[in-house]
Structure 1
Amino acid sequence: MNFGGQQDAHDDIEFNLIPLIDVILCLLIFFVVTTTFQQQALVRIDLPEASADATTMNSDSLEILIDANGRFYLNQLEVLQSDPASLREAVQAYAADASREQPVTVRADAQTPHQAVITAMDVLGQLGFSRISLATVRSGEGG
């Protein structure tokens, strides 16, 4: 009987990696499932710096005017309805063969609802226009 004697020197210590792999796999699945892959549609707008010089408008540029009641005008022609679908149809009809790189100016009255301006910019972004400018007047000029 060997009660306090030597242990067998040939026993190897072994690490069981299966529980570690299970935990890492569960974490990986958790992070993949909880990550959102939805990309937000963004419209990049380069805001111009204020200057004393007025910029000239190109003849091929597109202008959307929004009055205080939220009605849209496309190059001085009124869009019949003030919903996004009507504005989209009007812009598509007006700029059907034009390049989406042409400049677009959005002019809004000071009393225009903010939603109307955002609707116009959203429609232009969905149609692929990338050169969008917001027209303003210098303070002191008035309307």
Structure 2
Amino acid sequence: MSRKRRGRYEATIDITPLIDVVFLLLIFFMVSTNFVRESQLRISLPEASAQAAEEAPEKIKLLVDKRGEYVVEGQVMINDQLETLVLALSEAKKRAAPDAVLIITADALSSYQSVVRAMDAAGKAGLVNLRITTQQPAQNG
């Protein structure tokens, strides 16, 4: 009595659908990603002599648009006078923490004078911690 040997059945996993899903996800993330070029100033930074702070300080945001108009913490200023800006920054400082950082975000097409005026107003309002950023102009097309 001889027994017939059955052929070995090898178990396989079809990973074709998995590869399809991975490529679809890859395409989705490539299409939905924003590629933004940030402009930066070249400066030499001092070295830290102490450890980094554990918590980030509170931020007060000041926007300068291309027409030289100011927006402090989401509120548009009625004019671009220095006194108005100092008053608005003083009020924002009262609501913020004592070590609050003023972040000045200026449009790339805004005048240097409007940014200097914002820095001057910050100094008069007692804000000594400043950070300056810029916005790229919108491209038509």
Tell me the TM-score normalized by structure 1. Answer: 0.52
Shift of 1:66: 0.4
Q: What is the root-mean-square deviation in Å for CA atoms of aligned residues?
A: 2.5
Q: 1:82-102 deviations in whole A, cap 9, x for unaligned?
A: 110110111112222534421
- Opposite residue 118 of structure 1, the aligned amino acid is V
**Contact 2:57–2:100 at 8 Å: present in 1 too?**
no
Q: Which one of the candidate residues 83, 86, 89 is aligned to 1:88?
A: 86
Q: 1:72-113 deviations in whole A, cap 9, x for unaligned?
A: 000221011111011011111222253442111000011101
How many angstroms apart in 2 are the aligned matches of 1:93 and 1:62?
11
Question: Runs of 4+ in structure 1 displaced over 6 angstroms?
Answer: none
Gaps of 5+ in 2: 1-42, 46-55
Partner of 1:61: 59
Identity of aligned residues (%): 20
How many angstroms apart in 2 are the aligned matches of 1:109 and 1:115?
13
Higher CA-based Rg: 1
How many angstroms apart in 2 are the aligned matches of 1:72 and 1:48?
29
Partner of 1:133: 131
How many angstroms apart in 2 are the aligned matches of 1:48 and 1:92?
30
**Contact 1:100–1:130 at 8 Å: present in 2 too?**
no
1:1-143 alignment, distance < 5 Å: 60-136=58-134
How many angstroms apart in 1 are the aligned matches of 2:44 and 2:121?
21
**Contact 2:73–2:92 at 8 Å: present in 1 too?**
no
- Opposite residue 67 of structure 1, the aligned amino acid is D
Gaps of 5+ in 1: 1-46, 50-57
Residues 91 and 100 of structure 1, relative CA distance in 2, 3 Å threshold = same
**Contact 2:57–2:101 at 8 Å: present in 1 too?**
no
